[in-house]
A and B are shown apart, each in its own frame.
Chain A
Amino acid sequence: MTFLELKDLRIHFPTDDGLVKSVDGLSYSLERGKTLGIVGESGSGKSVTSLGILGLHKGGPAKISGEIWLDGEELVSASAEHVRTLRGKKMAMIFQDPLSAMHPFYTVGAQIIEAYRIHHNVSKKVARKHAIDMLDRVGIPQPDRRVDSYPHEFSGGMRQRAMIAMALSCDPELLIADEPTTALDVTVQAQILDLMRDLQRDFNAALIIITHDLGVVAELSDDILVMYAGKAIEYGTAEDIFERPEHPYTWGLLGSMPRLDRERTERLVPIKGTPPSLINVPQGCAFHPRCAYEDRTGGKSTTEVPALLESEGGHLVRCHLPRDVRRAVWENEIKPNLEAS
Chain B
Amino acid sequence: MVTYIIRRLIWAAAMLTIVSIVTFAIFFLVPRLAGATPESLATRYVGRTANAEQVKIAAEKLGFYDPLVVQYGRFAKGIVAGSEYDYGPGVEQCPAPCFGYSFLTRLPVWPDLLDRVPVTMSLALGAAVIWVLAGVATGVVSALRRGSFFDRAAMTVALGGVSLPIFFTGMASLVVFSYGYPFEITAPGGSFTPFFENPVDWAYSLILPWITLAFLYAAGYARLTRAGMLETMNEDYIRTARAKGLAERTVVLKHGLRGALTPILTIFGLDVGLLLGGAVLTESTYSLPGMGKYAIDAINSQDLPKVMGVVLFAAFFVVVANLIVDLLYAVVDPRVRLS
Contact = CB atoms under 8 A, between A and B. Distances in A.
Interface in B237-273: 237, 239-247, 255, 258-259
A84 to B, nearest CB: 6
Contacts of B245: 84-89, 115, 118-119
Interface residues of B, number: 20
B332 interface: yes
A93 B239 CA distance: 10
Nearest to A116: B244
B242 A56 contact: yes
Residue of A56, A103, A118 with highest tally of chain B CB at under 10 A:
A103
A103 B235 CA distance: 9
Nearest to A169: B244
A54 interface: yes
A93 B237 contact: no
B237 A100 contact: yes
B335 A104 contact: yes
Given A105-B332, A114-B244, A95 B239 contact: yes
A97 interface: yes
Interface string A89-114: 10011010100111111100000001
Given A105-B333, A105-B334, A150-B335, A93 B258 contact: no
Given A118-B246, A119-B245, A103 B255 contact: yes
A278 interface: no
Contacts of B259: 103-105
A94 to B, nearest CB: 9
Contacts of A152: 334-335, 338
B53 interface: no
B333 A97 contact: no
A102 B235 CA distance: 10
B333 A56 contact: no
Nearest to B337: A150
A216 interface: no
Nearest to B242: A56
Interface residues of A, number: 28
B236 interface: yes
A170 to B, nearest CB: 8
B242 A104 contact: no
A103 B260 CA distance: 12
B247 A103 contact: no
B76 to A, nearest CB: 42
Contacts of A104: 237, 259, 333-335
Contacts of B247: 84
A102 B240 contact: yes
Contact of B258 (A97, A105, A115): A105
A103 B335 CA distance: 11
Contacts of B235: 100
A11 interface: no
A127 interface: no
A166 interface: yes
Interface string A204-232: 00000000000000000000000000000
Contacts of A103: 237, 240-241, 255, 258-259
Contact of A114 (B236, B239, B246, B334): B246
Contacts of A118: 244-246
A69 to B, nearest CB: 20
Given A105-B259, A150-B335, A87 B243 contact: yes
A145 to B, nearest CB: 16
Contacts of A97: 236
Given A101-B237, A105-B258, A150 B246 contact: no
Contacts of B335: 104, 150, 152
Interface in B213-240: 235-237, 239-240
Nearest to B261: A105
B142 to A, nearest CB: 17
Interface in A105-154: 105-106, 114-115, 118-119, 150, 152
Contacts of B241: 103
Interface in A50-67: 51, 54, 56
Contacts of A93: 243
Contacts of B240: 95, 101-103, 166
Which of B237, B243, B246, B335 lies at the interface centre, i.e. has the most chain A CB atoms within 10 A of its CB? Answer: B243
B242 A87 contact: yes
Given A54-B243, A100-B235, 15 more contacts: A51-B239, A56-B242, A84-B247, A87-B245, A93-B243, A95-B243, A101-B239, A101-B240, A103-B237, A104-B335, A114-B246, A119-B245, A150-B334, A150-B335, A152-B335
User: Top 9 A-B pairs ranked by shortest CB distance?
Assistant: A88-B245, A87-B245, A100-B236, A88-B244, A103-B237, A115-B244, A101-B236, A93-B243, A150-B334
16 contacts: A56-B242, A84-B245, A87-B245, A92-B244, A95-B236, A100-B236, A100-B237, A101-B239, A102-B237, A103-B240, A103-B259, A104-B333, A106-B258, A118-B245, A166-B244, A167-B243
